[in-house]
Amino acid sequence: MLNKIKQLLPASSRSLHAMHDDINRLHEELERIYHRIEVADNGINMNINYKFDNMAIPIIESIAQNLDAHDEHMKMFAWEEYKRPEETIQEAKERFFKELPKATGGLRLLQLGCGKLLGEFDTLCKENDINYWINFGTLIGAIRHQGFIPWDDDTDLGIMRDDLEKLCDIVEDDNRYKISIVYDRFVHCRQVRFLYNDENIPCFLDLFIYDWAPSTDNKFAEEQRKLRVQMVEEMESDRALTFWHDEPYYSGENNSLIQKHYDRCLEKSKAAGIICDKEHAKGIMWAIDNLDDGKQKQWVYPIADLFPTKAIAFEGTQLEEPNNPDLFLWSRYGDIYELPNDINSHFQHVNHNELESGSSNLAMKRLLD
């Protein structure tokens, strides 16, 4: 993918090479600093703590600042070189991402399957008066690529808790689909997914839960965070959950022992007036069921920024996006037209190579025919 991106950029110049050389030299200096720290840590210097805090850390911070500055300079230079005379920088960025080649092989097969599942999910929701919206990377993909981000292999949706409960009831009577709940001990979350019943089809939609909130005041979000931290601490000290340590992605018969912690936290949140029913709501709140990895900087949004949702094109079909998608994205990602850091390191949720042959490949092709 990096090579394909480089092909879209203009030919390198001496100034660009010079910047690369500067960054390489800074990286080498940083490696030397790390080596000196390692030697000191082996006991050579009795004043390791003093020297690390007062000498090494300031040097490392200075190098990091220089690397960040060079990175910004190179981005500015690259975009100036890439843009056409009649374009603004923003227009050049939008064109760049639109021209990125789509995924190929097993990854593209998975994306097309998830796109079909998305279309069916949208129809199911509209037939049953259920609200949802595309979220996170899927929302970026719709805005920036009119489909999947080329290196993305998961699909993110937002849904209100009451609509999720309604969806679960509907799916129970529909043999085409299922909803799975997996309890993830690493990040203490409930992983909720909408899938095909056919286990040979690995496509899934991640459903992130939101609750109704009586206010958009950030103090309510902070109280919600505190309740979630308390819930996690109680989970960690609960001896009845030792089985969760052995099977950190759990969906077995002891689900209720984990679920009771979420239920208790939810009741505390209601009792404290942090969340409420739809009739008394002024905002929506990131639910305690979801992970808190620090990336979700904003936990509460005005209702008008989400509803009514709007139609947006995605892989040839029409899906729903938030009424104010920029707010949802900016609060988590900042500028979505900056080059991301995970082009080569994006976590694979499904083994793409396995989709190129075998039973999953046949099932996916039947699905897409």
pLDDT, tens digit (0-9, with 9 covering 90-100), for 129-144? 999 999 999 999 999 9
pLDDT band at 368 (very low <50, low <70, confident <90, very high): confident
Spatial CB neighbours of 217, under 8 Å, sequence gap ≥ 6:
300
Q: Which of 5-9, 296-300, 341-345 has the least mean pLDDT?
A: 5-9
Residue 14 predicted with pLDDT over 60: no
The number of distinct structural domains making up the chain is 2
20 assigned to some structural domain? yes
- CA dist., res. 364 & res. 107, Å (int): 12
Calculate the average pLDDT of the chain.
85
- CA dist., res. 43 & res. 281, Å (int): 60
Q: Choose the most confident range, by mean pLDDT, from 39-53, 54-68, 339-353.
A: 54-68
Q: Do residues 119 and 145 make contact, with C-beta atoms less than 8 angstroms apart?
A: no
Query: 206 - beta bridge partners?
Result: 156, 193
The whole domain housing 265 covers 113-368
Write out pLDDT tens, residues 37-57: 666 666 555 555 655 666 667
Comparing 81 with 307, which gets the higher pLDDT? 307
In angstroms, the Cα distances linking 102 to 150, 313, 355 are 5, 16, 17
319 assigned to some structural domain? yes
- CA dist., res. 345 & res. 138, Å (int): 18
Q: 164 and 90 share a domain?
A: no
Q: 83 and 124 share a domain?
A: no
Mean pLDDT on 259-275: 97
In angstroms, the Cα distances linking 294 to 93, 262, 284, 349 are 27, 20, 18, 21
* 299 SS3 class: coil
Residue 267 predicted with pLDDT over 70: yes
Q: How far apart are the first and last CA of the chain?
A: 28
270 assigned to some structural domain? yes
